[in-house]
Structure formats: structure tokens, C-alpha cells
Structure 1
């Protein structure tokens, strides 16, 4: 079973993203738990203050409050193994996210095309 988190502050994109991930994981016959967070502070709190360790975390870079990059930094302090997948429309930020041993970077404008190989 995989434990996955999504951290996305745009409710419209979150509501589009979640079913795409769920559909692909069901197609791959994969058992999973999918937690959603609308801000980075909530995700950091969950990771730091509980025993939950996510196999994969999908981050938006441009979150309100703490940025996705700041969230990743905080999570890396307590969890070195989660796969980080950044999803953003800020294509110029791609190189900044690789300091966290990032698994992948997905552009929002190509999300549906780029998510499949990542989940596979």
C-alpha cells in the first residue's frame, strides 16, 4: 500500500488532480491512501507531529503561506525517503526543486500527459 499526499492550495486544481491520480492508481491495481492538504503548514505539521510517512508527495511550488520549496525543506529534515513530485506553472523554478532529491517536476499545463509515467 502506498501513502500519498497532495499539497495544493487551488481547490479547482486539487479537485481535478485528485481523481486523475486515483484513476491511474486504480488502473494500475495499486492500493493507496491519498491525503490532501490545502496549505504547506498543514502538511508539515502532519509529517513532523505524527508517525505518517508518505511514499510520495505532490507539491505545488506557489502555495499561499509557506511555499512548496519551504515545505519540502522542512519535510526533508525528518523524512529522507519520500518521493517529491513538484507540480507548478512556474517552469523557471525547476532547478530550485532538485536540491531536495526530487523525483519529478510536472508542469501544470501538461499535467494529464506528464502524470502517467510518474505514477507508473
Structure 2
């Protein structure tokens, strides 16, 4: 199971991404735990209050108070401070020049409107990496 977060101040974009993820789950018999957030502040508050982490986080750049980049930087700081594994962050944006987002070490930067093919590819990648981590067995030394 993958824990996925979707953060966008426009609920319709959260709904669209969630629908694509749910379709993927139905086609591939995968269960997802999906949580939506309407702002970077709400996401950060939840991460601080609850012992929750995400395998994958879709994060809008343009949000009212705390933009996506600042939200991602705070998440990265929290991961370092709490020695948590890094979350796969995917920025979803309509930015013309998204290179500044690279400072948050995103898995991908995708444009709006989102493409089911691209989201399916991202989920395939994250599932594959999670499976590799689960089956990694220390090698015996001679």
C-alpha cells in the first residue's frame, strides 16, 4: 500500500489527481491511502501533529500563503530533523520556469493539466522503488 498526499488549494485538482490514482489502483489491484490538503499550512500541521509520512506527495506550487516550494522545504527540514525517509515529492504546476523547484529535490515536476499516463508512470516508479526496498536483503560476506 502506498500512502499518498495531494496538496492543492483548488479542490478540483485534488479530485482529478485522486481519481487518476484510484483508476490506477483498480486497473493494477493496488490499494492506496490518499489524503487531501487544501494548503501547505494544513499539510505541515498534519505532519507535525500526526505520526504520518507519505510515500508520494503531489504538491501544487501556487497556493495562497505557503507556496509549494516553501512547503516542500519545510518537509525536507522535518525529514532531516526527525531522521525520516525522504518523501517522493511531485510538483504539479503551471509555472513557465520551474527550475527553482529543483532545490527541494522533487521526484518530478509535471504540468497542469495532469496526464493520467504521467501519473501512472510516477506511481509505477514509486511502487517499484518501494518493492526493491522491501525485498533488499543484506548479502552474506565470504
TM-score (norm: length of structure 1): 0.90
**Distance in 2 (alpha carbons) for counterparts of 1:2 and 1:63:** 25
User: After TM superposition, what 4+ stretches of structure 1 lie above 4 angstroms from structure 2?
Assistant: none
1:115 deviates by: 1.6
* Structure 2 residue 112 is matched with structure 1 residue 86: no
Aligned to 2:75: 75
Give a deviation string over 1:5-58, Cα, whole Å, max 9, x none: 000111222222211111113322222100000111000111122210111110
* Structure 2 residue 89 is matched with structure 1 residue 106: no
Structure number with greater Rg is 2
8 Å CA contact 2:17, 2:114 repeated in 1: no
Structure ranking higher on relative contact order (CA contacts 8 Å, 6+ apart): 1
- State the superposition RMSD in angstroms: 1.4
1:60 deviates by: 0.3
Query: 1:28-107 to 2 correspondence within 5 Å?
Result: 28-79=28-79, 80-93=85-98, 95-107=99-111
Aligned to 1:116: 120
1:67 deviates by: 0.1
8 Å CA contact 1:48, 1:75 repeated in 2: no
Number of residue-to-residue matches in the alignment? 119
Secondary structure at 1:102 match in 2: coil
Query: What are structure 1's unaligned runs of at least 5 residues?
Result: none
Query: What are structure 2's unaligned runs of at least 5 residues?
Result: 80-84, 125-142
TM-score (norm: length of structure 2): 0.77
